Amino acid sequence: MKQVENNPDFVDISKYPHVYIDLRYAGINNFMGVDLYGPIYGSSGKVFLHKDAAVKLRKAVKFLEKQKPGWSFLIFDALRPRSVQWLMWDKVKDTPQRKYVANPAIGSPHNYGMALDIGLTDGKHGEVDMGTGFDSFTPIAEPRLEKKYLKMGKLTKQQEANRLVLRRVMTKAGFLQLSHEWWHYNALPEPEIRKKYKIVE
């Protein structure tokens, strides 16, 4: 991670106000069941984003403070080196889950530090209920199917409302919601990211 730590294009977001870090790949509470970040980040507690994405996160924090005083963001993932992307890909490439993991040959927006996996905490009861957990890899997690699952009673009105709080402040700050993961936001359209930025290996 020296490539990132000494590079002014990348910033550590772990000390931002109203931003709590819950990096799931830095423990075993993830779909891999393996600590993927330990060997890379060590115990520094740092979490990196490209500065162009970090500016938008700071804006989102301001919007959230206004809309839901006392609430904070929960960061599940931010910059993810491509070496980790390969480990994930090897696990899912021959399974139905492969559509949830970007092929490392092309790269994920996370590999550029231009994507965030993000949720909310309300300051009282902890993590805000979005209907599924992070990385659930099920159709209920897909924003494009929300209306369908609402009708079927598999998603409650409150869960949908909670997702909309997140979506409103993130998109107002300039992020784009991915259609099959409620937690994933890109800082720019993917083609633009690939054209303008570099992958962190």
- Judged by the rule CB under 5 A, the positions of this chain that interact with Zn ion are 117, 184
Q: Which is nearer to Zn ion, 117 or 142 (CB)?
A: 117
- How far apart CA 132 and CA 183 sit, in angstroms, is 10
- How far apart CA 77 and CA 119 sit, in angstroms, is 10
Q: Which is nearer to Zn ion, 65 or 127 (CB)?
A: 127
Q: Which is nearer to Zn ion, 46 or 184 (CB)?
A: 184
Question: Exposed/middle/buried for 32, CB within 10 Å: 0-12, 13-18, 19+?
Answer: middle
- How far apart CA 43 and CA 201 sit, in angstroms, is 20
Q: Which is nearer to Zn ion, 99 or 157 (CB)?
A: 99
Query: Shortest distance, CB of residue 70 to Zn ion, whole angstroms?
Result: 26
Q: Which is nearer to Zn ion, 27 or 70 (CB)?
A: 27
Query: Shortest distance, CB of residue 55 to Zn ion, whole angstroms?
Result: 19
Determine which helix (DSSP H) or strand (DSSP E) holds 168, and give its type and residue range. helix 157-172
Q: What angle do CA 194, 177, 20 make, to 5 degrees?
A: 100
Query: Shortest distance, CB of residue 2 to Zn ion, whole angstroms?
Result: 24
For residues 7 and 51, the answer to whether their CB atoms sit within 8 Å is no
DSSP state of 109: G
Listed in sequence order, the residues at least 6 apart from 170 whose beta carbon sits closer than 8 Å to its beta carbon are 60, 118, 177, 185
Query: Shortest distance, CB of residue 63 to Zn ion, whole angstroms?
Result: 20
Query: Shortest distance, CB of residue 135 to Zn ion, whole angstroms?
Result: 9
Residue number of the CB atom closest to Zn ion: 184
